Amino acid sequence: MSQRIKIKALLESEQTNIEVTVKGWVRTFRNNQFIALNDGSTNNNIQVVVDFENTDPNLLKRLTTGAAISVVGQLVASLGKGQKVEVKAKEIEILGDSDPEKYPLQPKKHSLEFLREIAHLRFRTNTFGAIFRVRNSLSFAVHTFFQERGFVYLHTPIITASDAEGAGETFHVTNFDLANPPKIENGEIDFKQDFFGRATNLTVSGQLEGELGAMALSDIYTFGPTFRAENSNTTRHLAEFWMIEPEMAFYDLEDNMNLAEELLKYLIAYVLKHNAEDIEFLTQRLAEEEKQKPQQERSDMTLLEKLQFCLDNDFQRLTYTEAINILIESAPNKKKKFQYPVEGWGTDLQSEHERYLVEKHFKKPVILTDYPKAIKAFYMRQNEPDANGHETVRAMDILFPGIGEMVGGSQREERLEKLEQRMDEMGIPKDELWWYLDTRRFGACPHAGFGLGFERMVQFVTGMGNIRDVIPFPRFPKNAEF
């Protein structure tokens, strides 16, 4: 197996007239002579030329779309159009047959809906090959970014007893017999007899545990799966998704915003440099998709232009209060075009409002800060009330074109009495989070952090409209296939 050379390396090679071994899956076989072979290292196929007059006819019949083969042959300059080199086959071995009557991926255009139904095979298409190579690069770039800046990668628990967001939309973890769980006298389930001796769930965020690490290691980041039992059948939600959550001691909101903007630009730049071929393919794919839309719904920019635009422009920063004033005076609000009218201060912004600010008003990524205290989580640092008596917190959201919220973060509340007071107001039991409160009792300091939904980042960079197409095996209501 060790002599195999990947197709990407062969296509980039300057050498010719050398013997090579190449392996992959047959995309097409035409005229009993030309195999288009792909091994996933690139969207581009290498052409394998078969001497059909001197090849066993039974072997030729087995060269079907989807079959896995090994080819030993001569790498030569290609006379055909579209490729510099091709392989003149000397030996062909069928490693795995593919019945052309049953193989669902025929050489034609398939809908994304159909490909979701065969997610175990969709990696073999050009679109999904490009998406998952980009996703791989973005993952690597996340680690590179933080490691270059001296952050410690912290593994926070997947099974937890806390609900960091207080939303209650959690998946429960138990080893009880669900048909007959033990109960206490009042009929409630006796979780003391469960595996962990208490009610537990899959994590919705690694943030609270991440803060504990930051209170000793200064700068940490987590990058792992998180879970929300939200019954949302939308193009923007998953039940299982990946989150990047840095937490930084001695950071204020300004530092937090600067780091988040730097991270987003770093990730985009990394992919443009290392996945140029895939981005070019995805740009063309999106342009074809856009042609099917009405003129007014089409994007002003290509995917490549949009990515470059985010690199070339500083993100627009403004407060929630400033944003509300813009939205109240906006044409869609005055003409009642918004599904959710903006009636005044305190309105919880919907994605249509966020997209208006980003795509129509500022025409670039936006960072909103200082949200109303009432619509944000308990752990965010409270500001002094403003001149109008509005109570706000040191929160920040980064909004991107086509996506809406990409990053959510805040400066954390380090003052014990303020934090306890807020937990009381929101009905969050202090005794269950005693360990979290200890970080405010012993050596508290200003600190901040944010969460970046990894799939939304992949969606933005690839131009895909549905979040289910940027994670290998999507989990959503009524679907846990594969």
**Domains held by the chain: number:** 2
Q: Which domain holds residue 345?
A: 126-169+204-469
- Kindly state whether residues 53 and 142 are assigned to the same domain: no
Q: Is residue 111, in this structure, part of any structural domain at all?
A: no
Q: Is residue 56, in this structure, part of any structural domain at all?
A: yes
- Kindly state whether residues 277 and 425 are assigned to the same domain: yes
- Kindly state whether residues 278 and 417 are assigned to the same domain: yes
- Kindly state whether residues 93 and 154 are assigned to the same domain: no
* pLDDT at residue number 167: 59
What does the alpha-carbon distance between residue 88 and residue 20 come to, in Å, rounded to a whole number? Answer: 10
- Kindly state whether residues 83 and 162 are assigned to the same domain: no
Q: Is residue 218, in this structure, part of any structural domain at all?
A: yes
* pLDDT at residue number 126: 96
3-state secondary structure string across the chain: CCCECCHHHHHHCCCCCEEEEEEEEEEEEECCCEEEEECCCCCCCEEEECCHHHCCHHHHHCCCCCCEEEEEEEEEECCCCCCCEEEEEEEEEEEECCCCCCCCCCCCCCCHHHHHHCCCCHHHCHHHHHHHHHHHHHHHHHHHHHHHCCCEECCCCCEECCCCCCCCCCCEECCCCCCCCCECCCCCECHHHCCCCCCEEECCCCHHHHHHHHHHHCEEEEEEEEECCCCCCCCCCCCEEEEEEEEEECCCHHHHHHHHHHHHHHHHHHHHHHCHHHHHHHHHHHHHHHHCCCHHHCCCCCHHHHHHHHHHCCCEEEEHHHHHHHHHCCHHHHCCCCCCCCCCCCCCCCHHHHHHHHHHHCCCCEEEEEEEHHHCCCCECECCCCCCCCCEEEEEEEEECCCEEEEEEEEECCCHHHHHHHHHHHCCCHHHHHHHHHHHHCCCCCEEEEEEEHHHHHHHHHCCCCHHHCCCCCCECCECCC
Regions of the chain with pLDDT less than 70: 1-2, 163-168
How far separated are the first and last CA of the chain, in Å rounded? 29
What does the alpha-carbon distance between residue 376 and residue 302 come to, in Å, rounded to a whole number? Answer: 35
* pLDDT at residue number 145: 98
Q: Is residue 190, in this structure, part of any structural domain at all?
A: no
- Kindly state whether residues 86 and 160 are assigned to the same domain: no
* pLDDT at residue number 2: 60
Residue 291 tokens read as: 């042609």
Short-list 394, 399, 390, 368, CA closest to 379: 394
CB atoms within 10 A of CB 314: 10
Residue with tokens 């949009």: 306
- Kindly state whether residues 51 and 162 are assigned to the same domain: no
- Kindly state whether residues 96 and 211 are assigned to the same domain: no
Question: Per this entry, what is the length of the chain?
Answer: 482
The CATH number linked to 218 is 3.30.930.10
The CATH number linked to 42 is 2.40.50.140
What does the alpha-carbon distance between residue 25 and residue 39 come to, in Å, rounded to a whole number? Answer: 6
The CB-side HSE value for 23 (13 A sphere, CA atoms) comes to 11
Short-list 420, 425, 412, CA closest to 437: 420
- Kindly state whether residues 363 and 321 are assigned to the same domain: yes
Q: Are 268 and 311 in contact (CB under 8 A)?
A: yes
Residues with Cβ within 8 Å of residue 201, at least 6 apart in sequence? 159, 160, 161, 163, 170, 171, 172, 173, 227
Q: How far is CA 371 from CA 45, 323, 365, 411, 479, in A?
A: 51, 10, 18, 12, 35
Kindly calculate the radius of gyration of the chain based on its CA atoms and give it in whole angstroms.
27
Residue with tokens 């001197």: 54
Q: Is residue 482, in this structure, part of any structural domain at all?
A: no
Residues with Cβ within 8 Å of residue 330, at least 6 apart in sequence? 342, 356, 360, 361
Q: Is residue 196, in this structure, part of any structural domain at all?
A: no
Short-list 362, 355, 361, CA closest to 401: 355
Span 295-317, pLDDT tens digits: 877 888 899 999 999 999 999 99
3-state secondary structure string across 347-416: CCCCHHHHHHHHHHHCCCCEEEEEEEHHHCCCCECECCCCCCCCCEEEEEEEEECCCEEEEEEEEECCCH
For 176, phi then psi, to 5°, come to -65, 155
Q: Is residue 118, in this structure, part of any structural domain at all?
A: no
- Kindly state whether residues 37 and 141 are assigned to the same domain: no
What does the alpha-carbon distance between residue 205 and residue 451 come to, in Å, rounded to a whole number? Answer: 9
Residue 467 tokens read as: 């979040």
Long-range contact pairs involving 472-475 (C-beta distance under 8 Å, separation at least 24): 472/119, 472/123, 472/132, 473/119, 474/116, 474/119, 474/238, 475/238, 475/239, 475/240
* pLDDT at residue number 165: 62
* pLDDT at residue number 231: 87
* pLDDT at residue number 384: 96
- Kindly state whether residues 220 and 277 are assigned to the same domain: yes
- Kindly state whether residues 233 and 277 are assigned to the same domain: yes
Residue with tokens 């007014």: 296
Q: Is residue 228, in this structure, part of any structural domain at all?
A: yes
Which residue type is seen at 237? H
